[in-house]
Amino acid sequence: MNGQPPETPNTFKVFDRERDHHPWQEAFQEMQRLDVDRRWAVAANWRMDHRVSEDREWGDLEASGHFTSVRNANDWWEARKNYFQQEICQPVTPGPTGKISAYGRPTNAANRIADRISAFDKLVHVASFSSLLRRVSRSDRSAEVEAILHQLTGQRLLSNWGPLNAQVSMLARAMLALGPEVIRRIAGLLADSLGEQEPPWWASFVEEVQTALDSKNALALCVALGLGHLPTGDWLLVWRYPIKEAGPLYRPTVLEANDSPFHFPSPPGCALGITMPLDSAQAACREVLHRPLRGRAAVEFCTGELFFLERLPVLRDNEVLVKLRTQHRARIQRELSLTGLNAWMLRHPEITP
């Protein structure tokens, strides 16, 4: 029940806790409108996500200082971005600065997955190839990556970035022609070159997306894993690995989901995250967070495949997004019989057009 009465859908809440005169109230009311920018979906998630504990809210989010002067929706949106960039995109073990990522801090201990999960079970992580290339091209190891890419494929990193372009595809096709070993090696190289600023990896269990993986179809993977943010024309890299390679697992929260409108918080009582597939006919998968793979593991557990995302149905219209969220709620209710589930849903009715 999370300590909340089920019959109070109209009271202002943040992280599923009722608030009186909260500094974000005005900002969140502003973001309730179903505007074209889709911020309403992110704001709705922040209001309903019980997974952000009071410890994390006060000991981390408020203490970070990013949210101290929030007066309107734009202030809040910028503070959220800064929190993500400066508090989440950090190493999970103390680096030279001593700072660790917010999801690994003691204030987020409630989301560390304590359940014993068999070490032989396997996770899958899917990453945007162009996004990895872009990040690496801006890192201080870009020359090293470029030299090895050049040596292996005859291609180079892009040094300036526009929208997805033909050069990414040329590189991907060159890698495909050279085979899985080269793809693995380059995938590992990219993973190692991202430094400590890489956000945590989102991962699901392999068996739940086996059909999509077997299909070798990027669209099927995106639909199954709820990757609605990827642009058409992107390429996907895939890692499949035993849980023991991932280190401690965490239940994701809206704070790690950054600005994704395709995230939906898992309900109270659920020990893991749950994906929101991009198709109502798909089953939702369990999902977790963990530190990015590095070194040998990043090479060995890459599948050596690259999938081209030829076309992703545009799910970004508000009407479609609302429908997706509504169907996801129904899916969760069908599947789970958790105490307090209905009350949580009632406390956070879906915004309707």
* Both structure tokens of 169: 């595809």
63 touches another protein by CB under 8 A: no
320 touches another protein by CB under 8 A: yes
Please give the Cα distance from 187 to 159 (Å, whole number): 19
Closer to another protein at the Cβ: 281 or 314? Answer: 314
Please give the Cα distance from 235 to 215 (Å, whole number): 15
303 touches another protein by CB under 8 A: no
Q: How far is the CB of 262 from another protein (least distance, A)?
A: 6
75 touches another protein by CB under 8 A: yes
Indicate which single residue of 316, 326, 343, 346 sits in contact with another protein (rule: CB under 8 A): 316
The residues with which 307 forms a beta bridge, in sequence order, are 236
Indicate which single residue of 118, 151, 337, 352 sits in contact with another protein (rule: CB under 8 A): 151
32 touches another protein by CB under 8 A: no
Could you tell me if 83 and 202 are in contact, meaning their C-beta atoms sit under 8 angstroms apart? no
Please give the Cα distance from 221 to 200 (Å, whole number): 19
The most distant pair of C-alpha atoms in the chain lies apart, rounded to whole Å, by: 64
Indicate which single residue of 24, 28, 46, 84 sits in contact with another protein (rule: CB under 8 A): 84
Please give the Cα distance from 288 to 205 (Å, whole number): 9
86 touches another protein by CB under 8 A: yes
Place of tokens 């969140």: 28
327 touches another protein by CB under 8 A: no
Question: Binding string to another protein for residues 88 to 127, with x set by CB under 8 A, is what?
Answer: -x--------------------------------------
129 touches another protein by CB under 8 A: no
Torsion, Cα of 288, 28, 131, 168 (10° steps): 130
Indicate which single residue of 53, 108, 128, 253 sits in contact with another protein (rule: CB under 8 A): 128
Place of tokens 């069908």: 334
Indicate which single residue of 74, 280, 339, 342 sits in contact with another protein (rule: CB under 8 A): 74
258 touches another protein by CB under 8 A: yes
Could you tell me if 278 and 313 are in contact, meaning their C-beta atoms sit under 8 angstroms apart? yes
Please give the Cα distance from 75 to 66 (Å, whole number): 10
Closer to another protein at the Cβ: 77 or 241? Answer: 77
30 touches another protein by CB under 8 A: no
Q: Please give the residues from 178 up to 217 whose contact with another protein meets the rule CB under 8 A.
A: 199
Could you tell me if 322 and 330 are in contact, meaning their C-beta atoms sit under 8 angstroms apart? no
The closest of 173, 200, 174, 221 to 108, measured between CA atoms, is 200
Q: How many CB atoms lie within 10 A of CB 124?
A: 24
228 touches another protein by CB under 8 A: yes
The closest of 338, 134, 297 to 203, measured between CA atoms, is 297
The binding site for another protein (CB under 8 A) comprises 36-39, 41-42, 74-75, 77-78, 81-82, 84-86, 89, 128, 131, 134, 138-144, 146-147, 150-151, 156, 159-163, 199, 228-231, 257-263, 313-314, 316-317, 320
